[in-house]
Amino acid sequence: MDPVPGEINPAQIEVKIESFLNDTNKIFIETQFTWRKPSDPGTRTQPGEYLEQMDDYISQHVETFMMGQEELNASK
């Protein structure tokens, strides 16, 4: 997924959702984010900010998509 226009810290995101072969009741969610280098070399984002952005994306988009609620959220 390409970066969202207007985001303060835009990222390109790849999402993988797979079931475990050993226990198909469980799933594996992987997100890979790619952030652009800051335009100002003196600006540096802390790793914790990146982790929070990934966690927020998973809870706000991936989990709602898997629960079938993504369409409901988009229509509000």
Is the residue at 3 inside a domain? no
Is the residue at 38 inside a domain? yes
Is the residue at 47 inside a domain? yes
**Amino acid identity, position 11:** A
Residue 22 has pLDDT above 60, yes or no: yes
Residue 76 has pLDDT above 50, yes or no: no
Whether residue 56 contacts residue 11, with contact meaning beta carbons closer than 8 Å, is answered with: no
Is the residue at 62 inside a domain? yes
Residue 17 has pLDDT above 80, yes or no: yes
From CA 46, how far away is CA 4, in angstroms rounded?
21
Is the residue at 68 inside a domain? yes
Q: What is the tally of structural domains in the chain?
A: 1
Residue 57 has pLDDT above 50, yes or no: yes
Is the residue at 4 inside a domain? no
Q: What is the pTM of this model?
A: 0.55
- pLDDT at residue 11 in the model: 77
Q: Which residue has the higher pLDDT, 10 or 52?
A: 52
Is the residue at 5 inside a domain? no
Range of the structural domain that residue 47 is part of: 11-75
Is the residue at 16 inside a domain? yes
Q: Which residue has the higher pLDDT, 76 or 48?
A: 48
